[in-house]
Structures are given as structure tokens and as C-alpha cells.
Amino acid sequence: SYTTDTKSREENKKTLENLYSLSVDITKIRRLKEWVLLQDVAYVKEIAGILQEMGADETTVANIIERCPEAILHTPAEINSQRALWQLVCQNEKQLVKLIEQFPESFFTTEYQQNQKANILFFQELGLKNNIITRFLTSAPNIFYNPVEKNKNVIETLQRNYLNLGGSEANMKIWILKLLSQNPFILLNTSTAIQENLEFLQKNDFTDQEVLQLLSKLKGFIFQLNSTTMQKSMLFSKNIFKCSDQELKQLVLKCPALLYYSVPVLEERLEGLLKEGISIAQIRETPVVLELTTQIVQYRIKKLSALGYDIKGGNLESLNGTKKDFEVTYGKIQSKKERPIFNPVAPLHIED
């Protein structure tokens, strides 16, 4: 609760002096968050001291404060508590400093320390490795702001559904940990939303085994959807591909993106493919191509065309996969094209 009324106030001279002494670029702070410089109380020297104590050099300290100026408004006690909290999952202080430099906003959000601590301990009990928990702290910090009971509730809902769908007790822990590490944001959903989405799939005649398969393929993204958007996306795909309910189900199992993406996204991607001369029949054969953005598809088609590979005539498998997968496919097509036609077992006619 800091004031952001900048008109009637002057910058705090003491704060400015202390920042200058640390070689902090004050123009950056003025541009980003000038209101920080107007506060009556700031702990510039103290926060810099704690960071230096952890092993941060002068440049690192300046960089952290420039990127997250509100760091200097926290009390040393708050920052020391946060330091102790993050040390529960960091290998050493060197790693901690590196994380603070990369993700200062995550570290300097100190309002939820009790929840953060309870959640860190809960994730450790669950079996998540510390390096995964540190990744969550930096890239998905808001899952730690939930009361631990809420996160436990979501996990219990997932476990119960996994078993109800025919998953085995032996594999459940691995499944949950994999799902969480792929998409920690599932914890931001309510147990009710998760339940409703699973029921939607069952009402649409997906068997328990198929629902489990979709959950694993979608990396938990299904829990961020709702039945209305899924219904619209499925209807759109059914009309475009002119298929029966059973055929649509098979397409969704092949390409869960048909459930996950909204109608405007699917429309845009289909349009991009059709503009490249690709037919609906080809897309229906390899629907996974819809997981790629229009820009990626255009880039890959251009690269393959340069090798004389006509995408319109064949299947779309060569377009699919991650960047690494595509490079492998491209390399194979390239070497095939460059390889001379030579029969190693044919006799050589050499004149004496």
C-alpha cells in the first residue's frame, strides 16, 4: 500500500543518494516506477547489504534494483524471511542470487510468506523435486499465494478422478507429478471446474481410457477450459471436416488442440494452411498441424519448398513437431536430395 500520487510529492533525496552510491541507473526507475522514489521510507542500503551478503556483486545489485525498484521498500526483516524461505529449495546462495536477478518480482513479493512456506513444504511432501519447485516460484509464483488447503483440494480432486477413470494407484503419483511439472497453473483452477470439464468429455462419449489419454496429452490445459468453449470448438471442427461424432472423437484424440483452441484461433490457422494450397482432406489426415502457428507453418513450407519438396502433393507429417523435430526431418529430406545415385554393389568398369 504505497502512494502513487506523484503530482504533489518530491523525490526522496536520501533514497536518490543511496541509489547513486550503488551505481543504479535512476532514469530507468523514473521511467518504470517513479512512485518508488517518492516514498518517505526506503531501505536501499539494507536491501543492497542483504544481497551482497548472499554473494551479489555491485553490478548484480544495481541490476536487481533497476528491474524491481519496489525491492527497496521492503523491510530487511521481510527480505531475510523471504531469503530463508527460498533457501528451502535452492542448492546454495549463489543459485538464489541468480534466481533473484532473473526473477526479482517473484522474490520481492513478500505478502504471502505463510502461504508460500506451507505450499513449498506441501510440494516437497508430494514428491516434487526442489528444482521443479524453484521453477514454480519464479515462473508461476501465484500458485504459492493460494492457501495450501486450496492446492491440496485440487490435487485430491485430480487423484480421485485419475483412479475413477481407471488409472492405477501405482502410477498415480508419477502422473500427478508429471502433470504439475508440465503445467503448474492447473492449481489456479477450482475443483468444481476440473470436475465439470471431465464430465463434459464423458457426456461426449469419450471412454474413461480416452479421457485419461486426453488429460496426459493436454498437459493439464483442459482444466483451464470450460464446457462452452470446448463445445464450440468441437462443433466448428465437425462442420469443417464434415465428420460424424465418432470421427470427430478420433480427430480430437489425435489432436487435443481441437478442444483446447478457441474457434477464432482454429479459423485463423485453417485459413493460413488453405492459403498455402493445403486441402481440408490433408489437414483432416494430419490434424496435429493445427497446433502450429500460421507463421511457423509458412516458414517450414518455405524451407521445404526450397528443397523442391511439394507439400501440396503429400501428407503434412514433415511440417509437424517441435523446432528440433522439424530440423531433423528437414535434414533427412536435404541429405536425400543431395545424395548421388550410386549403387555400391555395381561393378566398376575401369580400363587397364
Neighbours of 218 (CB within 10 A): 19
The stretches of the chain forming alpha helices (DSSP H) are: 13-21, 26-33, 44-53, 58-67, 76-86, 93-102, 104-107, 113-126, 130-139, 148-164, 169-182, 191-203, 208-217, 227-241, 245-254, 257-260, 263-275, 280-285, 294-306, 323-338
Residue 170 has pLDDT above 50, yes or no: yes
pLDDT over threshold 90, residue 345: no
With bands split at pLDDT 50, 70 and 90, how would you rate the model's confidence at 319?
Answer: confident
Of 169, 178, 106, 170, give the one whose Cα is nearest residue 135. 106
pLDDT range class, residue 326, cuts 50, 70, 90? confident
Cell representation of residue 119:
505450499
C-alpha 233/C-alpha 255 separation (Å) is: 12
130-152 pLDDT, tens digit each: 999 999 999 999 999 999 999 99
- The 8-class DSSP code of residue 140 comes to -
The predicted structure's pLDDT at residue 223: 76
Average pLDDT of the residues in 305-318: 80
Task: Measure the CA–CA gap between 207 and 215, rounded to whole angstroms.
Answer: 12
Which pLDDT tens digit goes with each residue over 63-73?
999 999 999 99
What is the mean predicted confidence (pLDDT) over 185-212?
A: 89
Q: Which amino acid is at 48?
A: A
Neighbours of 138 (CB within 10 A): 17
pLDDT the model gives residue 1 = 46
Q: Which amino acid is at 136?
A: F
Residues 19 and 35: their CA atoms lie apart, in Å, by 15
The candidate with the shortest Cα–Cα distance to 26, out of 11, 45, 46, 42, is: 11
**What is the pLDDT confidence band of residue 328, given thresholds at 50, 70 and 90?**
confident
What number of other Cβ atoms are within 10 A of residue 153's Cβ? 16
